[in-house]
Amino acid sequence: MSEEWKQRLKDYYDGNLSEQEAAEVEKELEKLDTYQEVIAEELQTSENTTEELSSDKAGKIIKNSIRNARFSLAAYVTMIVLLILPVMMMGSYLYYGWGQKAEDLIQVAIQTVYVTEPNVSLEEMEVERTFGLFTFDVDMDLYKRVGKNDISLGDWEVSYNFSDAEFPKRNYIIENPPQDIPLPETKKLFHPEGIVSNRDENAWNTLEKLPKGTVAELYVSLEDTYAPSDMRGVLQDVDAEWRWYAIDTGLEAEGKSSEGGFLPPIGYPAQQDPDGWSPYNSRRKNEEQFMESLRFLAKYEEQATNIAHAKWLDLEDRIDYLEGNGLKAYGGVVTGPTKELLKLRDNDAVRTIHIGEVRLWNW
C-alpha cells in the first residue's frame, strides 16, 4: 500500500476530503472488499492446508481475480449488446416498414431524378436498397438516351438517417459530369423571357464538324412556350425525338427561387416508359404523372432538395402555378443523328442550343 493511499485513507476517515474525493476512495474500498471476498473463497478451498499463505501466492490470487472480473464484465457487456442489437434492428425494420415509409423514401430518390435531371432514367433492377440501424441506402445506376441507346452515366448513392436524406454520393463515368450544385454559368436550358447566361457560340459549328456517323444529345431552348402536345411539331421534318421537356412553372423567366437563389429547371420525360414500375409508365399520360410526382415530392421537399442538383425546388409555388396555368414547355432535350439535329439551326422556334453527349451511330 503506497504512502499516498495511506494518507488519502487517513484523510477520508478524518473527514478532510471533498465529496468527489471521498466518493473515489469509497469506490476503491469497495473494490478491496471484493478482492478480499475472492481471496477468502480461494482460501476455503485449501482448508486442509496449514501452510501460511505467502505474499507471492496472494498476489497471484489477486491478479487472477482481477482478470476474471474483467473477463466477466466483458462477457456481460457482449451479451447485453447481442441482446439489444436484434431488438434495435427489429425496431428499425418496423420504423421503415410502418406505412410504407421505406418505399416512399425510395420513390423520393427515384422521382427526384426524373423531375430534376434532364434526359436521365433508371432501371428497376439496378435500384438497390441496403438497410442498417435506422439507416438505409438507395443505390441507383443512371442512364441517358443518346440516339437509340441508353448510355451509363454512373451511379448515385442516397443515404437516409431515419427519414433525413443526406447529400448523395455521385460517381460519374462520363467526361463532363454536372456540378453538384449548378450555377447560372452552367445552365443549359433557358426560358424565352430569361437571360441566356451560358450561350455556346460555337455549338452549331461543333455540331457541323461532328462526323456524319454519330448521334448526339442536344439541349434546346425555344423562343416561345408550347403545350406538350405541340412539341413534336417544333422538330418539323427533323429525324429526331424529344426525350425530356423543361416546363414553365412561373419561376423560370427569372430563374430564381422565392428566396432569390438559383433555380434549375424541372420537367419530365417526353416518352412513356414501357416498364410498369417507372413513374412515367404507359398507364397514363406523362403530364398527369408529372403533376402526381410534384405533389408527392412536395410532401418530402426537404429530402428531394437534398437529393437534387439544387438548393431550392419551391414545389408548392410551382404546383400552384401549374394548376392555374397548365403545362407549357420552353425547351428540353432532343436526340438523333448529328446531321439531322443540325437542321434545327434554321428553325425559327429555336433560341439556343447546348451539345450534350455524343456517340457513334446507333439510330
Q: For residue 211, what are the contacts with CB-CB under 8 A and spacing of at least 6?
A: 338
CA dihedral sign of residues 250, 254, 256, 258: negative
pLDDT band, residue 91 (cuts 50/70/90): confident
Residues 256-313 pLDDT 10s: 888 888 888 999 999 998 888 889 998 899 999 999 999 999 999 999 999 998 889 9
The three-state secondary structure class of 120 is: strand
Distance CA 353, CA 335 (A): 12
Distance CA 42, CA 36 (A): 10
Residues 142-167 pLDDT 10s: 999 999 999 999 999 999 998 999 99
Cell of 312: 431550392
**Domain residue extents for the chain:** 3-95, 103-360
> 95-109, 185-199, 218-232: which range is least confident on average?
95-109
Distance CA 185, CA 197 (A): 6
